[in-house]
Structure 1
Amino acid sequence: MITRTAVITGAAGGLGQATARRLLAGGFDIVAVTRDAPSAVATRQTLAAEARGRTVHALHADLVDRDAVQALVAQLRATVGHVDVLVNNAGAAFAGYVETADGIERTHALNHMAPFHLTHLLLDDGLFAADARIINISSDLVTRGRLDPSEPDVAGISWRNRFSQLTVYGTAKLANLLATTALADRLPAGMNAYSANPGVIRTAFNTKAGGLLKFVSSVSGIMAQAPDKAARTPVSLATAGTPPTPNGGYFTKGAAAIPPTTTHDADLATTVYERTARALGLNARPTAASRHSPPYDQ
């Protein structure tokens, strides 16, 4: 029997660790990815205590650093022979404008560029199983996202002099959702990509973010879910016996849903996908199907 392996980024706590626990219980071996070495050690110890015969690996990478993403792929190649599920969960809503060493606004670097980069390097390396599922964690705040349809700024540098924490975070998540939609048309037959919105969660994510998001989270906290409950959407996408449909779709509360109107623009999705690939120095993957329309009803 071939062991199924799931890679979860941002697994040091909150939604990422809850997702890892549920996937362990579902029979997966786990590669938990955290930001630094101490958190990787602690995360492995925590998850291994609940592994019940499964294998737990823990790797670390600061995903806003493009070189670190490449190094992570090399570590994954050396650690596991295949990846059945990738959950791109790592994210943050930074309170102010900072560019990374690669010249990317860091909210976009972590929430959009890093999952796109990691996914495509794994594809190029042939590390994905033939029926792999790629699950990108989305957010309610995609409704706050703003992208110019004619010149979408996938790197976030246009926010340098007009930074708004909620809007910038929403824009990064919107770009990621659009790119996920476009990716689904470009995957080999048998693979699937999804956007999973876990809803509002009771974690340290919002309080650590500071700024307006910390205030908003204190107001909306009464509606927040525990991480274990919020994990049901990404976990259901990962574990369903038959791949959920639609491929490239947006899922919340464990089911397919219609995302914000902005994401219904197939041309914008293609443009965001191609610009992101170019910004990362990657070759855009050709479409594998002729659908050329969003994976949901208009």
Structure 2
Amino acid sequence: MQGKICLITGANSGVGKATALGLARMGATVVMVCRSQAKGEETQKEVQAQSGTGNVHLLLADLSSQQSIRELVAQFQQQFSQLHVLINNAGMLPLGRRETVDGLEMTFAVNYLAPFLLTNLLLDTLKASAPARIINVSSDAHEAGYINMDDLQAKNGFSFMKVYGQSKLALVLFTYELARRLEGTGITVNALHPGFVTTNLGQNDIGPFLRAIARVVFLFGISPEKGASTSLYLASSSDVANVTGKYFEKSQSHPSAPISYDEALQHRLWEESIKLTHVS
């Protein structure tokens, strides 16, 4: 990965942090995107120390804000002229319905619309850097997901697992649609399930009792390092240099949910996403 510039969202903890460290150890130039400056700087120093390289950079962004995402892209393009690997890793699982500053349901906005907007804004840079790779970190929760085009913002009855599954299914639908649109550009687009990873996902909105239960449940999860292995494989392996439009688990291609292959739904979601993110 020497000479490769890699941007990773949600890089201050969990799978994102492990992915950043893995790429830094491979010799890549790593750009970590974090929301908190304090946590971001702490993780940046940690990754630099453990990888033995100073080639680890930090950019701040609140992915629930489309203005913040646009500012992130502007900052990145001021500092870097190329981008070889984009890893849309950040995700969240709010237990109650919340809206972003843009008036969008939080889970859908962060887990899906943020990658959609960020990727589209960086496409010209990726094309100019080809061969390049886009990696979308989804979840097997997408298999229970359902896209309600008439209620993408979950205003009519909120279930945290329903909206989480919808956001992760949307990410797979987006992966396949984008892969088809980018054929012949030298850019590959793939999605993945990292596994059941021990993280803090979903624990910020719950009380001490439920948090204790969650920690017991997560004892059965795999480590963030193991969870990052498929992201690292898709980012670096020559075996998948020309593989695009696939869904991976444990570094192997797997079928995703049958609904994710619905090209009409992929296209409808894309068109609606254009409107919601105001991408020209």
Alignment TM-score > 0.5, same fold: yes
Give the 3-state SS of the residue equivalent to 2:131 in structure 1.
Answer: strand
Question: How much is the aligned-residue C-alpha RMSD, in angstroms?
Answer: 2.2
Shift of 1:253: 0.8
Residue in 1 that maps onto 2:192? 196
Residue in 1 that maps onto 2:123? 123
Q: 1:167 to 1:120 in 2, by over 3 A?
A: same
Determine which of 184, 192, 204 is the counterpart of 2:179: 184
Letter in 1 for 2:25: A
Residue in 1 that maps onto 2:65? 65
Structure 2 CA distance, aligned partners of 1:2 and 1:21? Answer: 14
Contact 2:4–2:29 at 8 Å: present in 1 too?
yes
Q: State the identity %.
A: 35
Residue in 1 that maps onto 2:270? 273
Residue in 2 that maps onto 1:236? 233
Letter in 1 for 2:165: G
Residue in 1 that maps onto 2:168? 173
Q: 1:214 to 1:259 in 2, by over 3 A?
A: farther
Structure 1 CA distance, aligned partners of 2:123 and 2:110? Answer: 19
Shift of 1:219: 6.6
Structure 2 CA distance, aligned partners of 1:100 and 1:19? Answer: 27
Contact 1:84–1:128 at 8 Å: present in 2 too?
no
Give the 3-state SS of the residue equivalent to 2:190 in structure 1.
Answer: strand
Moved more, 4-13 or 237-246: 237-246
Q: 1:59 to 1:32 in 2, by over 3 A?
A: same
Query: For each residue in 1:227-274, what CA deviation from the matched residue of structure 2 results, as whole angstroms up to 9, or x when unmatched?
Result: 001111111000011435641111011110001122121111121122
Shift of 1:281: 1.3
Tell me the TM-score normalized by structure 1. Answer: 0.86
Contact 1:93–1:107 at 8 Å: present in 2 too?
yes
Residue in 2 that maps onto 1:44? 44
Give the 3-state SS of the residue equivalent to 1:185 in structure 2.
Answer: helix
Q: 1:127 to 1:246 in 2, by over 3 A?
A: closer
Give the 3-state SS of the residue equivalent to 2:174 in structure 1.
Answer: helix
Contact 1:77–1:127 at 8 Å: present in 2 too?
no
Letter in 1 for 2:80: V
Shift of 1:103: 1.9
Q: 1:78 to 1:152 in 2, by over 3 A?
A: same
Residue in 2 that maps onto 1:286? none
Q: 1:165 to 1:128 in 2, by over 3 A?
A: farther
- Kindly report which structure 2 residues correspond to 1:242-253, keeping only aligned pairs within 5 A, or say none: 242-243=239-240, 246-253=243-250
Contact 2:198–2:219 at 8 Å: present in 1 too?
no
Give the 3-state SS of the residue equivalent to 1:207 in structure 2.
Answer: coil
Which consecutive unaligned segments of at least 5 residues does structure 1 have? 284-298
Structure 2 CA distance, aligned partners of 1:216 and 1:161? Answer: 29
Contact 2:95–2:205 at 8 Å: present in 1 too?
yes
Structure 1 CA distance, aligned partners of 2:83 and 2:73? Answer: 11
Structure 2 CA distance, aligned partners of 1:65 and 1:185? Answer: 28
Structure 1 CA distance, aligned partners of 2:253 and 2:247? Answer: 6
Structure 1 CA distance, aligned partners of 2:45 and 2:277? Answer: 34
Query: For each residue in 1:111-148, what CA deviation from the matched residue of structure 2 results, as whole angstroms up to 9, or x when unmatched?
Result: 00001100000114567511110101001211221114
Contact 1:32–1:43 at 8 Å: present in 2 too?
no
Shift of 1:105: 0.5
Residue in 2 that maps onto 1:77? 77
Give the 3-state SS of the residue equivalent to 2:103 in structure 1.
Answer: coil
Structure 1 CA distance, aligned partners of 2:275 and 2:65? Answer: 17
Q: 1:14 to 1:209 in 2, by over 3 A?
A: farther
Q: 1:33 to 1:26 in 2, by over 3 A?
A: same
Give the 3-state SS of the residue equivalent to 2:90 in structure 1.
Answer: coil
- Kindly report which structure 2 residues correspond to 1:83-162, keeping only aligned pairs within 5 A, or say none: 83-125=83-125, 129-148=129-148, 151=149, 153=151, 156-157=152-153, 159-162=154-157
Which consecutive unaligned segments of at least 5 residues does structure 2 have? none
* Count of residue pairs brought into register by the alignment: 277
Q: 1:152 to 1:269 in 2, by over 3 A?
A: farther
